[in-house]
Amino acid sequence: MKYILSVILLAVSSVAMAEQKPNTCNTLGPQAPRDISSVLGTNSVAFPWAPAATKLNLCNIHTHTNAEHKGPGYNVLVNKTDNGGYACNETSSLSAAELTNPYGDGAYKNVEPGDTIEVHWVHSSCSVSPGPGLGSCLSSTCESPKLRVEAQVFLVVNDPDAHDFTDFGYGDKSTGVHQAKSLPVSGDTVTYRGSTTGPSYDETTCSPAQVTWNIAKSCKKVDIASLHRWAASKNVFEETKSHQVRQIVQNPAYLAPIKK
């Protein structure tokens, strides 16, 4: 069991991702990200669903520039490169004021007004505390972790009336488990079985992690200033930049069926 845990730790650690040897997608469970508008999937690995986020420990928050998933509110293809992904549908209709960037580079890198970001609130059944990287979601005493990601896509704008990202940062452990102050993921969502994401994986090198995803179908606006405030506040996750994306998985054999 210790050996199995070590393999999982290597798979999800942000440091180990770049070092791990390729995993054949044919022998692993369902992958992420995906087009959440499609229920198509023939991967039969049906691991147990993770409990609700309120029953788990929040262990990491991070963002990806451009949406990794494709959904009803974010289906504009940015490009087909490794730095591609999808943009919010409202991107082309932003005002000049919303697109103004008075902050230069700012404290949070790789993001500016007009960008789309996908935010992941990662939760774990392990007895862990919030910290940097996905390795914070596991421990040597937790052999069969249940992982859950609450995900929301945002359109970054220069507008103090848009969502304040610091409202969604780490809160406390007053309920017995580590939680965010609040989660914007509500209303119309899609829940499915998948994996970890990020640019280290594609349809030839897949992730062995088993993750319950709950992602909102809509895109919301977030104020660029609040992202810089979150980074400047020395958040417990040590996040100071937005990450690259993994392209959506399209092979049905690597996707779990979604029940509507």
Q: For the chain, how many residues are written?
A: 260
Query: What is the distance of C-alpha 92 from the center of its chain?
Result: 24
Full residue range of the structural domain in which residue 27 is found: 2-254
222 lies in a domain? yes
Check residue 74 and give its pLDDT.
98
Number of C-beta neighbours around residue 234 at 10 A: 10
259 lies in a domain? no
Q: Are 125 and 59 in contact (CB under 8 A)?
A: no
Q: Smallest Cα–Cα separation from 179: which of 130, 137, 231?
A: 130
119 lies in a domain? yes
Angle 101-103-104 (CA atoms, 0-180°, nearest 5)? Answer: 85
d(CA 160, CA 88): 19
43 lies in a domain? yes
* Coil/strand/helix, residue 151: strand
82 lies in a domain? yes
Q: Smallest Cα–Cα separation from 256: which of 20, 48, 17?
A: 48
Domain count of the fold of the chain? 1
pTM, full prediction: 0.90
Angle 94-95-100 (CA atoms, 0-180°, nearest 5)? Answer: 100
158 lies in a domain? yes
Question: Would you write out the chain's pLDDT as a tens digit for each of its 260 residues?
Answer: 333 333 344 344 433 333 344 567 888 999 999 999 999 999 999 999 999 999 999 999 999 999 999 999 999 999 877 678 999 999 999 999 999 999 888 999 999 999 999 999 999 999 999 999 999 999 989 988 999 999 999 999 999 999 999 999 999 999 999 999 999 998 899 999 999 999 999 989 999 999 999 999 999 999 999 999 999 998 999 999 999 999 999 999 999 999 87
85 lies in a domain? yes
At 235, the amino acid letter reads N
* Coil/strand/helix, residue 180: strand
Check residue 6 and give its pLDDT.
39
260 lies in a domain? no
* Per-residue CA distances from 144 to 124, 136, 200 (Å): 10, 15, 23
